[in-house]
Amino acid sequence: MENLNQLDTQNGENVVNYVKALRDARKWIGVATIAVMAIAVSGALYLGQYRSEGFLQFGGPIPLPLETLDKDKDPKKDKDKEGNPGIVLADYKRYAAAFSTSERFDAFVQANKLQGVDGIGGLRKAMASGDGFNKMVEPIFPFTKMDAKELMEQPKDGGNNVIGLRISYAAGSAENAQRMVGLLGRYAIDSIIYSNYSDVLRFKHIELSAKITKLDNDIISMNERLEMYQRKGVVLKKIVGSYPEAANKSATSVISVTEDSARYLSPITHLMSGEVEALSTSETIIRLKREQAQSILLREYYDQAKSLLDTNQSGEALLRGLEAVKEGVFKNKNLNDEVVKEVYNMITIDNQRSINLYLEKSRFIAGPTLPEKRNIRLSAVLLLSLLFGFFLSSAIVLLRKWWALNMDGVRP
């Protein structure tokens, strides 16, 4: 019991000694704390980064609906197919999976010879990090959850489209931050173009080859039908010649014609009907042959475009290069032929619309901003450095006192 009392007395004395040491060193603790705060603020100001932001708007429905050669089109359906502005969410996730990889970004940098651009190294490191792209690029929707609650009706298909991208990037200089935001917007559009055209160009040859074969079968079927009408017409003309009196009688008693009652019509009626059907079939054959010839031209164009894709990693360069591919394909073609001219014009319109959508209308409508101040929170830095400096200096004082007591042979 006596030993316990002595131990308590010693502990109490030690606590008093430590408190006195802190009190005696209060000026030094204050100076040390202020010094730590000054170092922390200076480091924050020196290491703080400038953050630039920008809003990139998609200029229309992506992917862009392409022109077709179909003549029998419903204008109302065509209007519905025009689509809503932006990218369907499912398509955006597919694009994001492709252009959020560092490999795709490195290919873009090499294709556009951007290796020497100031600040590109930091952006490449950010892209190489696990979730770097998703932190810098955020999809924007036309309606938020709060908007949907305030609206009388829930937004339909277009409400789920990604209409733009909010892009932000922090760098050591304001100019680099602004430059990299613009580069990220250009990279996003470039990758979307590349993804769209790589999907189209890789499979167009097979699709058009299948279409050409189907049209060939349709032409064969129509030719057989035409031959049938012609044979039938020859026989009917003989019948009309053999029975001129019957041919001159009008079938005014016929109210309706069915498959079973059609055989009882006059030969002249059958002959006229057959000639009309033969004329319609001939027109169908002409239309099918025209469409087949145009499909063959399109297949040749898309084959050359695919070769351009295989040697290119830039979506913008690919899109601009399609005009040269078109001119090469039609260089030796007769553009005075309406069949050829229509395909030529259709490709020209598609390319011009794509350039307008992807490279002209899809643009920054806000930013990239040129930040004036570094992105730091001085209040948080001051508070944390204050606490850290106070506890660090206090710990040093207590450690020195503990060391002095032990050197003097006093047990705590």
Q: Which tens digit of pLDDT belongs to each residue from 148-192?
A: 555 555 555 556 788 999 999 888 788 888 899 999 999 999 999
Residue 218 has pLDDT above 90, yes or no: yes
pLDDT at 27: 75
CA pair distance 132, 146, nearest whole angstrom: 28
Name the pLDDT band for 237 (thresholds 50, 70, 90): confident
The structure tokens listed for 293 are 């010839």
| Closest to 294 measured CA to CA, from 240, 353, 337 | 337
Q: Which tens digit of pLDDT belongs to each residue from 18-29?
A: 667 667 667 777
* Parallel, antiparallel or unpaired: strands 137-140 and 61-62: unpaired
Give percent above pLDDT 90 in the chain: 24
Residue 132 has pLDDT above 80, yes or no: no
Name the pLDDT band for 267 (thresholds 50, 70, 90): low
Tokens 């106070």 label which residue?
390
Contact 264, 312 (CB under 8 A): no
Contact 186, 165 (CB under 8 A): no
- Residue 123 C-alpha from the chain's centroid: 20
Residue 1 has pLDDT above 60, yes or no: no
Contact 330, 344 (CB under 8 A): yes
Which residues are 50's β-sheet partners?
171
CA pair distance 56, 126, nearest whole angstrom: 20
pLDDT, average across residues 38-61: 77
More confident residue, 353 or 258: 353
Residues 6+ apart with CB under 8 A from 155: 142, 143, 147, 148
CA pair distance 358, 63, nearest whole angstrom: 9
Q: What share of the chain is helix, strand, coil (3-state, %, to 5)?
A: 70, 5, 25
Phi-psi region at 113: left, alpha or beta (left = phi > 0; alpha = psi -120 to 50) = left
**One-character DSSP codes across 236-287:** HHHHHHH-HHHHHS--TT-----TTGGGGS-HHHHHHHHHHHHHHHHHHHHH
Average pLDDT, the chain: 78
* Parallel, antiparallel or unpaired: strands 86-87 and 61-62: parallel
Name the pLDDT band for 410 (thresholds 50, 70, 90): very low
Roughly how many angstroms between the first and final C-alpha of the chain, as a whole number?
19
Contact 146, 348 (CB under 8 A): no
pLDDT at 292: 92
CA pair distance 389, 385, nearest whole angstrom: 6
Name the pLDDT band for 346 (thresholds 50, 70, 90): very high
More confident residue, 112 or 68: 112
Residue 7 has pLDDT above 50, yes or no: no
pLDDT, average across residues 113-137: 82
pLDDT at 56: 93
Q: Which tens digit of pLDDT belongs to each residue from 289-337?
A: 999 999 999 999 999 998 888 888 888 999 999 999 999 999 999 989 9
Other Cβ atoms less than 10 A from the Cβ of 143: the count is 17
